Structure 1
């Protein structure tokens, strides 16, 4: 499954005037209003804004993590209001690839085949001299039919059942400091799910902020080739999404996102946590 597209491909799709919608997914976890503010100041013409916490997540509960999946009927309605039908080509972007990856994963989870990521994000678009504007004219409502792929998701029970399975890899997408339990700036407990392998999501990009080539990603993940299934998590199911995307790009087939991630895992006092101290 290949979803990362280069700038020229995305620009030609935009210029063609065909049934294409750009999804602006910029967000700031420390300042939730920053994303929409940046969108209002300038975005790819006709792009629709999707907010991580309002559109791509549902309300936080005692379990389920900090960014639970949105209710599917609500998200489908959001897509329809954005002018996205079952046949629309959708191209997502942001300014760090994390939130756009969450969006792309969500649409893929719903069975939408024509959804892609703009490599380099809004920065690459602007640096190429391509147009941006501030127009926010609503799009015409469409019909979107979901075909949910439940096999793309793992929950806490799935992870518990697969602990220590020799054919299942559990991948932690957070920084080594958080994985090791050295520094935990967000969650109430520090460390990682027992047996998890650490693949920091920021290592997927080059110094310019572009996704690494598929061959580089294959080399990056080569130790995972011996596993039949890969479950990916982070703190709350957001920055794990780029790892899922990259595993797809590298040719891995059976990849699942643990949406609740570490913030869900630690909500159960019976779950064990490992550190590297």
Structure 2
């Protein structure tokens, strides 16, 4: 098992106690929709994790830290423990939002040192296409003890981004319109971090919502081979995780997340760029 599992793979293992399924469906701006969808029908045995209640911490009173800050490790560990997750359990996360919410959980678990985690390729839609069972029953899992082993090197701050070297590729995961500053429907400023390259997260996906083949992803990210360090951001550290998942598949598991992302960057008096950026790799690194 790698970073992705198919609906077939999961269907064969639903009854195994060492497999935990987590429903991460969530619609930004409509926080009640994901839980309502879960209650209306979900993969048998799945528990629900809310992006803003479970996979993000409280917003900072000073306005910094972004729209979906990192939860503290103790709170996350308690949440995972209550969901019956420990080092022996394989977690499979799914959503219906282009793998974004599931990839956020995938990243968070890996950040806490738990590598037995995968995203359901194609998400809820793939499960439905396969004709697999759906239920409204909620079956709690027996509590286990999750022990966090934080990997701080996976995470960077605004200061790290600002002070990055010329050998660091900074990837913006948002749409071209938001990256270029043509529109900004959510955050207080439009544009991108100066020097950031545009890698829209949706371009990692096939039309059916599954992740592209590894060979295609390697080709997509081939220009990054010249960079010894890669940092990824989006609006608030969610859709960037789809790029991180794709980069991992393409052989760049070292890529880091600027979790506060654009919503954090534009809360400071930091420079903002609009339009396009040159996408040539550095001449010397």
- Once the 2 structures are TM-superposed, how far is the Cα of residue 12 of structure 1 from its aligned partner? 2.0
Deviates more, 1:129-138 or 1:152-161: 129-138
Question: 1:253: Cα distance to partner?
Answer: 3.2
**Cα deviations by residue, 1:116-139 (Å, 9 ceiling, x for unpaired):** 011011111111111110111322
Partner of 1:92: 93
CA RMSD of aligned residues (A): 1.2
Matches within 5 A, 1:13-52: 13-15=13-15, 17-52=16-51
TM-score (norm 2): 0.93
State how far apart, in whole Å, the 2-side matches of 1:223 and 1:258 are. Answer: 20
- Partners of 2:72 and 2:82 in 1: CA distance: 15
The yes-or-no answer on 1:81 pairing with 2:64 is no
Q: Tell me, in whole angstroms, the C-alpha distance in 2 between the residues paired with 1:251 and 1:229.
A: 13
CA distance in 2, matches of 1:55, 1:37: 16
2:190 equivalent in structure 1: 190
Partner of 2:169: 169
Question: 2:95 & 2:70 partners in 1: Cα distance?
Answer: 19
Secondary structure at the counterpart of residue 57 of structure 2: coil
Answer yes or no: is 1:58 the counterpart of 2:60.
Answer: no
Q: Which residue of 2 aligns with 1:201?
A: 201
Cα deviation, residue 45, structure 1: 0.5
SS of aligned partner of 1:87: coil
Specify every segment of 5 or more residues in structure 1 that has no aligned partner in the other structure, as ranges. Answer: none
Q: Aligned to 1:33, what secondary structure does the other structure show?
A: helix
Q: How does 1:1-277 map to 2 (within 5 A)?
A: 2-15=2-15, 17-61=16-60, 62-96=63-97, 97-162=99-164, 165-269=165-269, 271-276=270-275
Is the 1:228–1:254 contact (alpha carbons within 8 Å) kept by the matching residues of 2?
no
CA displacement 1:219-268 (0-9 Å, x = unmatched):
11111111111000001001100000100000013210000001100111
Count, aligned residues? 273
For the structure 1 residues 268 and 253, does the alpha-carbon distance in structure 2 shift closer, same or farther, using more than 3 Å as the test? same
> Does the 8 A contact of 1:154 with 1:256 survive in 2?
yes
Answer whether contact 2:84 2:144 (CA < 8 A) is retained.
yes
Tell me the alpha carbon deviations over residues 146-194 of structure 1, each in whole angstroms, 9 at most, x when there is no partner. 11111100111110110xx221000000001100001111111011001
Residues 14 and 45 in structure 2, CA contact (< 8 A), matched pair in contact too: no
CA shift for structure 1 position 141: 1.1
